[in-house]
Amino acid sequence: MARMETALFGRAQMDTQATPHRLGKWSLVLIIVILSGGIFLRTWPTSGFRNVGYDEGIYSTYVAMAQKDGLWNYGDVVRAYLESQAKRPDAIVPATRVGFLVPAAAVAEITGLKPLAALHAVSLASSILLLLATAVIGFRQGGDARMLVLTSLMAVAPLQIHLAQRSLIDGYFAFWAVLCAWFLWENLESARQKGWLAAYGFSLFALVLTKENAAFVFLALIIVSAAFAFYKLGRVSLRLVLVSVIAPAFAVMCLAILAGGAGEWIAFYRSFVQKSATLGYPVRFQDGAWYRYFVDFTLLSPCVVALALGALFQLRKESKPDIFWSLFLGVSFAAMSSVPYGMSLRFAAYWDLPLRWLAASQLLQMSRGFERRWALALLMGSILFLASVDLFQHWRYFVHGGIYDPVTFELLRASKLIK
């Protein structure tokens, strides 16, 4: 028991803000067990939806075209899509999401996997990498205890497990979005580290190439940077500002080149937005009130949301990571909630980490009022309870319920709140 206490409470305060330099032996053992469990949950096929989803089918078509024409000729795939899209009255999933499609085509080319399997491999790998990144983020921003609690909560996140087993872009996008936020934090903490700056620039570049929703993440990053600079919570250097502008601009320029020019790319995007608003599925299932995402996450992970809300009411200036993730979550929530006909829980998969960071903060805060042994028992019991709830929710919605796209209607139907 003493060794377990040391692993969880370590050498310093549980929620220390100093960057730790050494991982304890028992913390290492525990994190390996947690990560192994999380990877197993993502790898073992449990999805109740056995068919090929609409988006998955279109993505696999683009990958097959890239295999046929060659990766270096992916611009031909984009131009063929643009020509087809211009003649259609509706909008289909764009081939311009090269940050996801080109790696999948490369995997298919190298391994010989079929396009759908290659897409799934990329999605699964990104989900596992996000889980590993979660452990590193927790360790660097909060030490051993934070790393163990946060990674435990992330390992059983129902949405992350679901997306890891699909051939969809959203888990991959979540991985890059979280990396962007983490690398921004590291640059705000230490403005002289060129490695963190390069990592931030590359992740932002990859994010913009991946999906149009990068605009919401970019807005959140900019506002978080401005807030930290204004309140002197972090250091915003000129180099950080330049990278924040140049990296996404370069990605947009690459997309414009693939589309045949800036004018063609702007015209396509405007047309795509207009046509998307006329589609039956988004109009029926991906619109709603501004608080729709809050309802959806509450249906999916009620205990985590309740704990995160509790942490929001206890924010302190001394707890900079809590403020950072709260701002990042709040700004992106406000931006994404204002988009008509474009709401689905999978679009917001990158919110799982900030939500679970705040939930972990609340658990650690609650445990502080107890003697060490009782605090350890409370933490372990709480984590096991939360894991049980999340795994049951995953079974309810994605295994037994067979949900493919976790929109509000499907979540309510699987919950038997509506028929």
Higher pLDDT, 261 or 160: 160
Mean local confidence (pLDDT), 373-395: 95
pLDDT of res. 212: 93
Cβ atoms of residues 157 and 352 within 8 Å: yes
Q: Could you tell me the residue ranges of all domains in the chain?
A: 22-414
Q: Which residue has the tokens 């692993």?
A: 7
Q: What percent of the chain has pLDDT over 90?
A: 75
Residue 342 pLDDT: 87
- State residue 309's pLDDT score: 97
Give dist(CA 173, CA 130) in Å, integer: 10
Summarised one tens digit per residue, pLDDT across range 322-350 is: 999 999 999 999 999 998 888 999 999 99
Q: Is the pLDDT of residue 18 over 50?
A: no
Output the average pLDDT for the chain: 92
Top pLDDT among 155 and 9 is at 155
| Residue 281, both tokens | 């599925």
pLDDT computed for residue 17 by the predictor? 44
Mean per-residue pLDDT, 277-294: 88
CB within 8 Å of 69: residues ≥ 6 apart: 76, 77
Average pLDDT over residues 46-55: 95
Question: Using 50, 70 and 90 to split pLDDT, how confident is the model at 239?
Answer: very high
The pLDDT score that the predictor gives to residue 334 is 96
pLDDT at position 419: 78
Radius of gyration from C-alpha coordinates of the chain: 21
pLDDT range class, residue 219, cuts 50, 70, 90 = very high
pLDDT recorded at residue 368: 86
Q: How confident is the model at residue 5 (pLDDT cuts 50, 70, 90)?
A: low
Task: Quote the pLDDT of residue 20.
Answer: 47
pLDDT for 185 equals 97
Q: What pLDDT band is residue 6 in, cutting at 50, 70 and 90?
A: low
Look at residue 273 in the predicted model and tell me its pLDDT.
82
Q: For the residues 102-120, what does the mean pLDDT come to?
A: 97
Q: 350 and 379 in contact (C-beta within 8 Å)?
A: no
Average pLDDT of span 122-132: 98
pLDDT for 386 beyond 90: yes
Distances in whole angstroms, Cα of residue 392 to Cα of each of 163, 193, 302, 308: 16, 43, 12, 20
**Of 328, 321, 363, 392, nearest in space to 148 by CA:** 363
Scored b (16 or more CB within 10 A) or e, 126-136 reads: bbbebbebbbe
22 vs 138: which has the higher pLDDT: 138
- pLDDT of 1 strictly over 90: no
Q: pLDDT tens, 177-202? A: 999 999 999 999 987 789 999 999 99
Cα separation, 116 vs 360, in Å, equals: 36
pLDDT at 355 over 90: yes
Query: What is the average per-residue pLDDT within 5-21?
Result: 47
Residue that has been written with the tokens 């929710």 in this structure? 393
pLDDT band at 8 (very low <50, low <70, confident <90, very high): low
